[in-house]
């Protein structure tokens, strides 16, 4: 038996169709009667959510009785007793009076079945009762599911739940069936040849009045299976789960999850979650599960889409192709294996905090797709597209809230040109375009203007990881790393010692390795953040200025900040191009303590533990830091904060230098 049309049977019965459940070699639609009367939801041909009334029965095994045409007395000939959805033997292979079904199994025992004929019980005794050719005990399965109390072979009280009824008093004996299923409309003959029957598709019922030998009396149904209504269980429209009449507009409940009632309350039409064609009470195209709309003018709230569609929630819900998860969303599969569009900013689902727009990037190394942010809500987008920052990291500049890499020679810049550097990597110095400019090109240390008039082998002053002249030729003094005329600049920073060095400094300059440097300008700002009366009053590198000379002790190579005395310093922050490893700073291109560097990387952040660094900028294109296969997951908040602070410090120093240049220089 099947509810599928004959010409479609092969199409449904030979494969596991969505929404269909298999029963007795056929497939039944769980969205319509009669399938909906037993199963709420089916997957791959199996029921995964049984209707409440049949849930316990449906979980029982369906195989047990094996009928065979011939065999010994204790083999079954007919499996005609169905109890709780399970078939039991109703006649044994015995033409005599030796074997008959007891508790649904062929037996020669006479304790319950005291008389037999033609493989059936003809008389039951004690606390057993007769049902479909066999005697069943009330104290064990399956008899206890039908009858609660039996006496002298007759059921006197049906089991709780009223799924069965008894013939009227005085019309039952131990020679006939004394308990009748509410949902079985086959005729049962009892004492005095009176006949009774249940109502097809009935779950619970009330026993009929006394019948006659000629007219079978049917029970009155109190509750029908889903898909039927009334005391005779008339079929509802196929779209209804429950109804009050047979038409499609009289549904009172719909298939749970897959349909909803198109009415504010009471009765109406069941609308499929995927039916978006109506003018009111609409579903969502390509939706298979949903919640009822809040009113007739809004679509349903989809909770699961059809295969190959992604659930997108952006005010309303929709089911879209993976490529349509855009405008602030990306496609993924969630923890419950549902395809969904996730907001770019949803960190819990693989998004990026503060990200407004994003895309999925597939790694050439086959590591899978990763989310790449393309626009931040308010902050600045990192050069790797993996985080939104308050300030851009070193070696990048802010271009419309996108941190864009500087020219590979610059550690700080205002655009990508090689002439737009405003700070340089360790080992390079800033060659300003003009004396009044704050920007220029980065050239190797101790070359060009920085070598002019410097005594041989006296390029030894170290600021920001780069070397500057510490002693000039006669008539010149070191000021901001350049050898300038002692006469021209004597009153603006350096008090000449007369031997090519400064004996002391003036105003907001400080003394370092024989030269005077401004605390408010690069490169002096890398060592001192504040100076007065020719002495540094606050070291930028974490050290304490010498009270006599006003100089700041230098940190070890690679450190921008350190603590401790000379020879035992501990690095707390690193210069651009280095990462912190333990208490020291290591070049981004080198390995240390389980941390792996990246060749030619000059701007990086260490991972939170071991593993590869996060590289932002490389000086040569041997490694592309925007390649998803290059690590970009080790960026900790601390690392981001450190980089941002370093950038702010450099920018602050440059601003101070500009103020001095145009005010103090102008006075000179």
Give per-residue pLDDT as tens, 389-401.
Answer: 999 988 999 999 9
Q: Within this chain, do residues 436 and 515 fall inside the same structural domain, yes or no?
A: yes
Q: Is residue 546 in a domain?
A: yes
Q: Within this chain, do residues 512 and 571 fall inside the same structural domain, yes or no?
A: yes
Q: Within this chain, do residues 522 and 422 fall inside the same structural domain, yes or no?
A: yes
Q: Within this chain, do residues 417 and 510 fall inside the same structural domain, yes or no?
A: yes
Beta-bridged to residue 89, according to DSSP, are: none
Task: Supply the DSSP symbol for 114.
Answer: E
pLDDT digits (tens, 9 = 90+) for 198-249: 999 999 999 998 877 788 999 999 999 999 999 999 999 999 999 999 999 9
187 Cα distance to chain centroid:
57
Residue 490 pLDDT grade (very low, low, confident, very high; cuts 50, 70, 90): very low
Distance between CA atoms of residues 153 and 122, nearest Å: 11
Q: Which of 254-263, 620-629, 658-667 shows the lowest per-residue confidence on average (mean pLDDT)?
A: 658-667
Burial of 511 (0-12, 13-18, 19+ CB in 10 A): buried
Q: Within this chain, do residues 476 and 542 fall inside the same structural domain, yes or no?
A: yes
Q: Within this chain, do residues 477 and 536 fall inside the same structural domain, yes or no?
A: yes
pLDDT value of residue 434:
82
Query: Percentage of the chain with pLDDT > 90?
Result: 67
Query: Which pTM was predicted?
Result: 0.61
Task: Supply the DSSP symbol for 43.
Answer: E
Read off the pLDDT of each residue in 37-43 and give the average, rounded to a whole number.
53
Determine contact, residues 562/542, Cβ cutoff 8 Å.
yes
DSSP 307-338: TT-EEEEESEEEEE-GGG--SSEEEEE-TTS-
Determine contact, residues 275/287, Cβ cutoff 8 Å.
no
pLDDT value of residue 648:
38
Cα of first residue to Cα of last residue in the chain, in angstroms, is 107
Q: Is residue 556 in a domain?
A: yes
- What is the 3 state secondary structure string of 572-621? EEECCCEEEECCEEEECCCCECCEECCCCEEEEECCCCCEECEEEEECCC
Q: Within this chain, do residues 40 and 107 fall inside the same structural domain, yes or no?
A: no
Place of tokens 């399965």: 141
pLDDT value of residue 593:
94
Q: Within this chain, do residues 30 and 138 fall inside the same structural domain, yes or no?
A: no
Read off the pLDDT of each residue in 158-177 and give the average, rounded to a whole number.
93
Q: Is residue 130 in a domain?
A: yes
pLDDT value of residue 22:
52
Domain membership of residue 92 as a residue range: 76-229
Q: Within this chain, do residues 538 and 616 fall inside the same structural domain, yes or no?
A: yes
Burial of 77 (0-12, 13-18, 19+ CB in 10 A): buried
Of 229, 247, 264, which marks where a domain is finished? 229
pLDDT value of residue 122:
97
Q: Within this chain, do residues 441 and 470 fall inside the same structural domain, yes or no?
A: yes
119 Cα distance to chain centroid:
62
Q: Is residue 578 in a domain?
A: yes
Q: Within this chain, do residues 34 and 96 fall inside the same structural domain, yes or no?
A: no
Q: Within this chain, do residues 432 and 469 fall inside the same structural domain, yes or no?
A: yes
pLDDT value of residue 39:
59
Task: Reduce the DSSP state of residue 55 to 3 states and report it.
Answer: helix
Residue 440 pLDDT grade (very low, low, confident, very high; cuts 50, 70, 90): very high
Q: Is residue 239 in a domain?
A: no
Q: Is residue 169 in a domain?
A: yes
Distance between CA atoms of residues 132 and 89, nearest Å: 9
Q: Is residue 387 in a domain?
A: no
Counting the structural domains of the chain, the total is 3
Q: Is residue 310 in a domain?
A: no
- Cα torsion for 279, 281, 284, 290, to the nearest 10°? 180
């Amino acid at each position: 038996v099947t509810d599928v049309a004959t010409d479609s049977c092969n199409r449904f019965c030979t494969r596991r169709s969505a929404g269909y459940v298999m029963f007795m070699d056929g497939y039944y639609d769980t969205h319509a009667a009669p399938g909906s009367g037993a199963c709420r939801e089916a997957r791959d041909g199996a029921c995964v959510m049984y209707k409440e009334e049949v849930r316990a029965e449906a979980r029982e095994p369906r195989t047990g009785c094996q009928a065979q045409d011939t065999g010994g007395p204790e083999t079954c000939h007919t499996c005609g007793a169905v109890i709780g959805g399970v078939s039991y033997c109703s006649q044994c292979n015995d033409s005599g009076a030796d074997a008959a079904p007891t508790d649904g199994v062929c037996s020669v025992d006479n304790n319950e079945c005291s008389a037999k004929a033609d493989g059936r019980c003809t008389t039951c005794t004690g606390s057993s009762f007769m049902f479909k050719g066999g005697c069943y005990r009330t104290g064990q399965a399956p008899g206890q599911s039908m009858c609660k109390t039996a006496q002298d072979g007759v059921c006197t009280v049906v089991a709780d739940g009223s799924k069965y009824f008894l013939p009227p008093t005085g019309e039952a004996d131990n020679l006939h069936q004394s308990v009748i299923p509410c949902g079985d409309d086959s005729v049962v003959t009892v004492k005095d040849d009176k006949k009774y029957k249940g109502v097809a598709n009935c779950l619970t019922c009330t026993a009929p009045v006394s019948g006659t030998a000629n007219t079978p009396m049917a029970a009155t149904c109190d509750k029908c299976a889903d898909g039927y209504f009334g005391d005779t269980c008339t079929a509802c429209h196929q779209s209804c789960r429950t109804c009050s009449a047979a038409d499609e507009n009289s549904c009172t409940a719909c298939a749970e999850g897959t349909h909803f009632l198109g009415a504010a309350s009471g009765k109406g039409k069941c609308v499929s979650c995927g039916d978006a064609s109506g003018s009111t009470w609409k579903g969502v195209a390509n939706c298979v599960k949903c919640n009822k709309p809040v009113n007739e003018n809004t679509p349903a709230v989809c909770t699961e889409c059809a295969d190959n569609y992604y659930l997108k929630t952006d005010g309303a819900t929709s089911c879209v192709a993976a490529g349509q998860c855009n405008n602030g969303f990306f496609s993924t599969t969630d923890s419950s294996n549902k395809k969904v569009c996730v907001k770019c900013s949803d960190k819990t689902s693989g998004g990026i905090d503060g990200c407004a727009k994003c895309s999925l990037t597939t790694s050439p190394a086959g590591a899978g797709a990763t989310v790449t942010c393309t626009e931040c809500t308010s902050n600045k987008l990192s050069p790797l597209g993996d985080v939104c920052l308050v300030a851009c990291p070193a070696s990048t500049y802010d271009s419309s809230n996108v941190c864009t890499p500087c020219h590979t020679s610059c550690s700080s810049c205002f655009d990508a040109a090689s002439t737009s550097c405003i700070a340089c990597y360790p080992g390079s110095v800033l060659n300003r375009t003009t004396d009044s400019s704050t920007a220029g090109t980065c050239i190797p240390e101790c070359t060009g203007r920085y070598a002019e008039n410097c005594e041989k082998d006296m390029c030894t002053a170290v600021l920001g990881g780069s070397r500057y002249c510490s002693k000039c030729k006669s008539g010149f003094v070191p000021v901001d790393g350049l050898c300038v005329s002692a006469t021209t600049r004597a009153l603006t920073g350096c008090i000449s010692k007369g031997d090519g060095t400064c004996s002391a400094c003036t105003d907001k300059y400080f003394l370092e390795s024989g030269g005077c440097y401004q605390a408010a300008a690069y490169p002096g700002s890398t060592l001192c953040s504040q100076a007065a009366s020719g002495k540094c009053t606050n070291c930028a590198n974490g050290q304490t200025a010498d009270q006599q000379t006003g100089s700041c002790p230098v940190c070890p190579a690679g450190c921008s900040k350190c603590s401790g005395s000379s020879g035992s310093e501990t690095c707390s922050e690193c210069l651009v191009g280095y990462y912190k490893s333990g208490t020291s700073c290591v070049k981004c291109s080198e390995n240390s303590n389980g941390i792996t560097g990246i060749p030619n990387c000059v701007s990086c952040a260490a991972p939170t533990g071991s593993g590869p660094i996060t590289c932002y900028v490389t000086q040569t294109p041997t490694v592309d830091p925007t390649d998803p296969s290059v690590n970009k997951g080790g960026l900790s908040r601390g690392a981001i904060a450190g980089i941002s602070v370093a950038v702010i410090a450099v920018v602050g120093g440059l601003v101070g230098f500009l103020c001095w240049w145009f005010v103090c220089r102008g006075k000179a």
